[in-house]
Every structure is written in structure tokens, then in C-alpha cells.
Copies of this chain bind each other. A is one copy, B any other.
Amino acid sequence: MPEPFELSVAESASSIRRRELSSVELVESLLNRIDALEPKLKAWVYLDRESVLSEAQEKQSALDSGIELGPLHGVPIGLKDIYHNAGIPTTACSKIYADFVPDYDATTVALLKRAGAIMLGKTVTTEFACMDPSRTINPWNPVHTPGGSSSGSAVAVAARMCSGALGSQTVGSVLRPAAYNGIVGFKPTFGRVSRHGVVPVSWSLDTVGWLVRTVEDAALLLQVMVGPDPKDPVASRETSPNYLEALVGPTASRIGLIRQFFYDHADVETRRHVDEVAERLRGAGATIEEVPLPDSMATAFDDQQTIMAVEGAAFHQPMFEQRAGDYQPKLREMIGRGLATDAATYSRALERRRQFITDMELLSERVDVLLSPSTPTPPLADLTNTGNPLFQGPWTSCGLPAISIPSVIAESGLPLGVQLIAAPFAEARLLAAASWSEAALNFQSLPPVD
């Protein structure tokens, strides 16, 4: 019998539903885990033990009375500290928002609550979900970066302090920390899930995502949070299928391996490993073909940096004009750079990105999923930055849904992951292929924190 903290989101939910586990037992197990590991890992910024326990008791009482709120009834979920949870501070781990307490829930938070989930607490984010490293520690090795910006969510899930946590990705802030911590990171198509009530970085790039330990959990959370939202002007009204059904009996896929660009920037071990992953998947029945990137890839990353700086600056400008000294150096530099950018330069970056989106959409439709390394290297022994977003950024820029699944432990003892990417709004196909690949790769390692 596993300890409750070891369970995935789906396992926790079904154990509670089947009365094999009470929500209170689960929360107590997680809080004990947090008590043991948090001093070392520093993944949390807000946690109200009494309130969470009391909510678990309420959820359990409801279930005992026959009231099951939804598919996450009684399951605790972590929130990156940029998600608004009414009455709870949302600091974005910044001096600027230090005293901010929202009076409403982010749409995603409201949907999690409606599904019966318990908001366990707020996880550490880099300042305003940008580039300055946070205090969070990689559970695989404390001198290696845990990644960012969703570092707290990734580490909390990797160290089994919770089974699922929301993050967000403007460049690579979900998939990179997922890969660096040996877990699953998922971001849906741009516009698929509402961003209302999430502190923004860049309005035309920001995508909510989540950190989990299984592909099934990625699908379950999408099922709960998917849907149109007029409060987020970029939210799509595309219809959504049943993602959990899509996982049933997933079969081998046509996979487009992208070596171009990625292999130019990846280390030898990563390149060799991704080739091995491709061989493993081929052996399990997938069709692997190498696909070329469009010419518009050439400027995609630099353009994304311009867009992020400008849109970040547009949001922060009023606060920055008052309190520039209260920003950390990398974000201060970015806002300054964004404010100094002329509109024509930004317009040309947006126009080139539009071509990149079209080209990538066409490429994504040639196969079931695309495959690339998640990161150029395993997490490095360098705490001055949160790692290289070069490999995750393109998928955020073009808006395609993407997932990072852990694939191996590198020679350094740190995890490596691979990314799968699909066509717009093809999350069902992506999750099916990821679930099949997860089984084929059978990654079982845990960080050495016990």
C-alpha cells in the first residue's frame, strides 16, 4: 500500500471516491511530506495548514453525505503564486505585489474548486514569472537549477509534496522545469485554457500549464479546466473532446523527429539520448520520420524575446515608473528594454511570428506529434539563471500544445526529458501519443530526497 503522498492526481481522486482514502488522510500525508522537505527544497510561498485541513474535513464530510463535487473531489492542488485565489495573497514573489490579496478566483482556480479540488497553497515563482532565479532547490541535486519560472510547482510535484500544481509558460516556464525535475509538464494550445486571474507576463504569449507526474494527470487537469472564457480575450471557443477517453488504448503514432536546430544546440548526451528515445518508440511500433523546420524558425526565438519584453513592459510600466528599484535585475533589464523598443520593431516581430505560427501549424499536421529534446542539456550546476528556454520557447511562440515527459537520468544524475508537440487544439492526440510514449519509456526514477 503506497503512502498517500505517493499517489497521482487520478489515483488520489479515485481512492477518495472509492472511500479507500479520506481527503483528510491525503492532506495530512502531504503536509507531513512538506514539513519534512520544505526546509530543504523551498517550493512553497503560502500554505495555511489549518485552513487546508479544515477544507479537507469539509470535503470528506460532503462525500460521506453522498455529495461528490467533481472529478477532483478532495484532491489538493498547488498554485504558482501568480494565480488569484480569492482572499489568499498573490505576491508573484515580488516586492511590488507583496500586499496584494485578490478578491476573486482565476477562472482555472474556480474550475478546480468546482471539480472538488482543494487549493493546497501557493508555490514559489521567479519574480513575476520571469528570469531572475527563485530560492527553490532542485530535489535531484541542490547545486543544479530547478528551472523556472514555475520552479516551486515543479519541485513540489517532483518531491511528491503534491500530485499536481499549476504553472504558466511565456517562453519555457512549464516544460523546462518539468524536464529539469523529472516530471511531466503540459501546456495546452494558446487560448485553450483561460488566463483570467493570472498575473500576466506577455499577453500574446502567456499560456497556463501544469506540472504533474503522469500523462493521465495532465489529461485530467485539462478536462477540468478546458473551456471558453469571455474574461480572457484570447480564450478560444473551440469545442473540446473527452481527453480521458482519448487515453484509453492509445496506439503507436506517426512521430516527426526534429533534429534540425535542436541538435545544433543540444549537448552530445542529449542528442544521443533523443535518438535512443526515437529508436525505443520505433521499436514499440511508432513510425519515426525526421521533419525539417520552416525558414521562419530562424528569427522565432529572438522575436519572442522582443515580444515578451515589450508586452511585459506594457503591463509593468506604471509600477516600474514608481518602483524600478524593487524589481530584480533580469526583469528590470527586460522592462527597460521593452520600454525602449519602438512600435515598428515590435510590429515586425509580431508579423514574422504570424508566419512562424502558420508554418508550424502546417508542419504539425504532417504527423501525429512532433518530437524534440525538452532542453539542450540536463539542468546545469549554475544557480545564476533558470536554464536555457531555447527549446521550449518555439512551442509557446507558435501556440501549439506541448508536453514534456521524463525519459532518462543523465550521466550527471539529473533528469532529461523529451517534448511532444501537436497541431492546434489536438490535445487529445498529443496526450494519447504521450501516454503511449510514457509507457514505452517507463521512466520510474525519483529524486533522492528520502
Contacts and interface: CB of A to CB of B under 8 A. Distances in A.
Interface of A: 203-204, 230, 233-235, 237, 310-311, 313-314, 317, 338-339, 341-348, 350-351, 354-355, 357-359, 361-362
Contacts of A233: 351, 354-355, 357-358
Contacts of A347: 203, 310-311, 314, 346
Contact of A358 (B204, B230, B355): B230
A298 to B, nearest CB: 15
Contacts of A358: 230, 233-235
Nearest to A310: B343
A237 B424 CA distance: 12
Contacts of A343: 310, 313-314, 338, 341-343, 345-346
Contacts of A355: 233
Contacts of A310: 343-344, 347
A341 B342 contact: yes
A233 B350 CA distance: 11
A359 to B, nearest CB: 8
A230 B338 CA distance: 31
Contacts of A346: 343, 346-347
Contacts of A341: 342-344
A382 to B, nearest CB: 31
A59 to B, nearest CB: 35
A317 B346 CA distance: 13
Contacts of A354: 203, 233-234
A151 B255 CA distance: 52
Nearest to A352: B233
6 contacts: A203-B354, A233-B351, A310-B344, A313-B344, A314-B344, A339-B342
B344 A317 contact: yes
A355 B196 CA distance: 12
A347 B202 CA distance: 10
Contacts of A351: 203-204, 233, 311, 314
A338 B344 CA distance: 7
Contacts of A344: 310, 313-314, 317, 338-339, 341
Contacts of A338: 343-344
A333 to B, nearest CB: 16
A310 B351 CA distance: 12
Contacts of A361: 237
A314 B348 contact: yes
Contacts of A237: 361
Contacts of A362: 230
Nearest to A317: B344
Nearest to A316: B344
Contacts of A348: 314
A357 to B, nearest CB: 7
Contacts of A230: 358-359, 362
Given A311-B351, A341-B342, A341-B344, 5 more contacts: A314-B347, A338-B343, A338-B344, A346-B346, A350-B350
A324 to B, nearest CB: 15
